[in-house]
A and B are shown apart, each in its own frame.
Chain A
Amino acid sequence: MTFNPLTPAIRERGIRFFKAIENKSVTGLTAAQFFFRYFFQRLKLMFKGEPDKLDYIAKNSMNRKCVLAVKNLFQVTVFLKSFDEIPVSEIPDYKAPKLTFEDVWIVFGIIASDLTLMQAILDKKVKIDKLAELAMIFIPIESLNPKDRLAKVKDQDMELLGQILAELGF
């Protein structure tokens, strides 16, 4: 799960958004939708002009469920329907793999590329339940070496993040 470092302006807006999540003026549903929408929509930028790769990701990563939780804040179930359609429900699915973050700023740190998901896992700031199933979502993406591609579309990536934040009013 690789992310580009944020530009100062986007970082500031992101901080405002995450503060709103922290003080519960933004719901967990919105927060989860923001995270997954950004994560999957930027794949379209990264693999632009390579529909076979996008098909491969869609085939392997989509139509799966995942629970996203932030301790003492929210727990939601995300259904990955397509790159653009990611419905979120407040009803927890106990069979689905689960990503539990110690606090909301760990999520921000990962998005802002201040730390990697692996670092957070090793520092015990993120707990994964049912990695095998969760990996089925992320492994197809990781297998396509997205890091180099991501750096190439940095400007568009920031534009996308800014656009999603703007849609949420931040």
Chain B
Amino acid sequence: MAEPPETEERKQKEKTEENIEIVPETAQDAKQPAGKPEESSLKPEDLIVGPLPVEELEFEERAKKLETVRKAEELKLAEENRKKEELQKEQERLQKLEEERLQKLEEERLQKLEEERLRKLEEERLQKLEEERALQAKREAEASVKSREVTPPETPPPIPESENLLLQGLVNLIQPALDIKMESKMYQIWIKGWDKAVQVHILNEGFMHVLIKDNQMKAAVGKAPREPDIAMEGEYETITNYLNGELDPILMFFDFILLRKMRLIKGLEIKLSSILNGNLVQQARILYRIDKILKLK
């Protein structure tokens, strides 16, 4: 009697299962009881079932070889790319350095040109000035010859500019001192109602004067515009040192009295009449105040 196809199929399956050689991959797998195949992570299709066909092995080997070749090519390509990049970077760096060098050279060249231009301008300016000065000197010489021809011999020669400037400088030194002193109440009271002109003759230099009027003090170069109330005379050094209070008061007294270094030409009349009527005291008082006003102290 023929068996049903189901039974035949089961038998076939059992035969196949008997032929399967289960190769345990790990010790754990080996120890695992055969009755619990579902706990294994391996699936039945993963199991090696008998020897692989030759074609498949060859295919795999070829694939592996191809893979190796591909990887080697990739590595080679990467290496080449890296070298190319490095070379490019180096070229860029060199190019940059060259550019910088050229730029620096260009800047230096421009700077030199600028310096040269400035030097030329300066030279031209100096030359021009020299020419102008020479021309001016020539003109002055001509003018002086003409003036000498025209002006009568009795006219006194004009005071040289340098001397006037020296006096102007002295005035410029005294005026700020007078301005500062005028801020003081004491000096304001002292000169209240005064109308006095003080004239100083600096020997070999010229005249300067101080006008005290309307509660103001003004120093200027030249003779006083009216008859001075007090007049002094002396050399530049003595007058300047006197203004600085460097002259000893006792010596100064003798200088005034004995008419030595500095002379008081006008301002103090030593007469018996002036002593008797008290004018001498009055004059001495004014002189004392003028002395304090003029001094840079």
Contacts and interface: CB of A to CB of B under 8 A. Distances in A.
Q: Do A and B come from one complex?
A: yes
Interface of A: 51-52, 56, 60, 116, 118-119, 121-122, 124, 128-133, 135, 138-145
* Residue from B162, B170, B176, B243 having most chain A Cβ neighbours under 10 A: B176
Contact of B165 (A124, A133, A138, A144): A144
B129 A116 contact: no
A142 B176 CA distance: 12
Closest 3 CB pairs of A and B: A139-B169, A143-B169, A131-B244
Given A118-B180, A121-B297, 4 more contacts: A52-B133, A118-B173, A140-B165, A142-B169
Interface of B: 129, 133, 162, 165-166, 168-170, 172-173, 176-177, 180-181, 236-238, 240-241, 243-244, 246, 296-297
A49 to B, nearest CB: 9
B236 A132 contact: yes
A21 B166 CA distance: 34
B296 A139 contact: no
A101 to B, nearest CB: 16
Contacts of A131: 240-241, 243-244, 246, 296
A124 B240 CA distance: 18
B162 A135 contact: no
B169 A135 contact: yes
A124 B244 CA distance: 12
Given A119-B180, A129-B246, A144-B165, A135 B170 contact: yes
Contact of B246 (A118, A121, A130, A143): A130
B11 to A, nearest CB: 110
12 contacts: A56-B162, A118-B176, A118-B177, A121-B296, A132-B238, A133-B237, A139-B166, A139-B169, A139-B170, A140-B166, A142-B172, A145-B172
Contacts of A145: 172
Nearest to B174: A118
B169 A122 contact: no
Nearest to A139: B169
Nearest to A129: B246
Given A118-B180, A118-B296, A139-B170, A132 B240 contact: yes
Nearest to B179: A118
Contacts of A143: 165-166, 168-169, 172
A127 to B, nearest CB: 9
